[in-house]
Structure 1
């Protein structure tokens, strides 16, 4: 989009600047007048470019808003589809649950009927037992009389209230004992859990302290290594600088000696100015030639010189 905008502004700008004043009128204008006219044209072109840029920005914002609205509509449509799919799945699940529930209810009816038959049998058995117990009650009238005497001495009005109170107290005592046992077991469990947690935290603290000591040692070693390598690097940089300076001096001295021997560096047959090895070879050949000449002169007969 930025590339199209740039091409558009460039085209409009070139079209505005390409408009020229007729040659006859331009010949009559002075340089200052033509300069003012050009400035006016440039100002108008800038205003038009600004207007086109604003219109383009508005269009771009409108397109961006439309795209956002389309994305929102698409998200809403997706959500609606997901909700509809979920609704269908829930309906299928409800229908399946309804069928299962009906089947369970039929089974429950059958079970209830069987239970009714079983309860009828139990009622017959209980009726026979009641008759037996009635005989025992009649035989145990002595105990009943004793309960009535106790009832007259207590605040209760009926024997059944006294027996119910006694059973309630016994049940309460058993429940309190059971609750005490459960609470004691919970306390023992919590005490053991606390001890295990304390031991774990102690082990973790020792481990962390050891790890901290190890990491501190590694940090100290790393700092020591860093200082040692930094010192070596500074030494390398210092040595390299000295060697570079010495190399430059050697190259300058070699070049001077090469020139003193009559060597050339600015001709086709000469040696390159930075080819130090070739210059040294030339200097070596020159020294050998001079040494040979000196040896030849020193070995010549003196009588040959007089002649």
Structure 2
């Protein structure tokens, strides 16, 4: 576009600056001043032509600038229009989508309404059939209505048949409630009997278990009593044996005491031994017997083939030295 503008300006300047043909003057005949004026005139014409060309170029440039601004504004307007058109298209697509969705919903609603209408038609048909049946039943129960009116006339307690029916309905409800209560009480009673039987069974099993334990305890008690009797008999035997041993020990102590007293009295040995010290008394008796045996041995001549009887050894580990008693050398 810049090359076209440059070519256009070049052509316009070339056409405008083309000078008009100056009449041929004879250079020889013209004066220098005249030639100078002619040149000045040509230069002025060229200046005017250039000025007019500049003014035209400036105006054209202004028009071009205005045109450029108009084009920019037009471009902005077109962009706004394009944006608005895009928004319009989007809104139109959204509206179309909503319209399609509403159409689908409308078709679904119409289909649902058709199904609902079909269902209502079926219900209406069923209600009409029920109406026919109720009418037939009413026709068949008309005699009962006459009977109820006759009963109402005979009783004279109610104003109309509905009041009488309401009264009898209340009585029937109370009867049904009482029947339900009686049934509930029967159930509770059955549950109570079941619990009682369960308790009885548990008590019986507990009683059997207790009886078994009692029998075991009684058997254990009998065994314990038998053991106690055996222990008592054994203890009695031990006590009797201990009494016999005690009696024998007492007799032995009395015998030892008698021997001790006889030995000390006969041999005149001082008896400074306690009466309860039986062992010391027995040792003293043994010592006395040993003394007598030694004296007998010294006094009696020895015979071949004869030997003195051996006396028992004293019970104590060390021989006792009684005051005034003579102890044989062997005991020393």
TM norm structure 1 = 0.42
Query: Which of the pair has more CA radius of gyration?
Result: 2
Larger helix share, 1 or 2: 1
Greater relative CO, 1 or 2 (CA 8 Å, sep 6+): 2
Give the TM-score taking structure 2 as reference length.
0.40
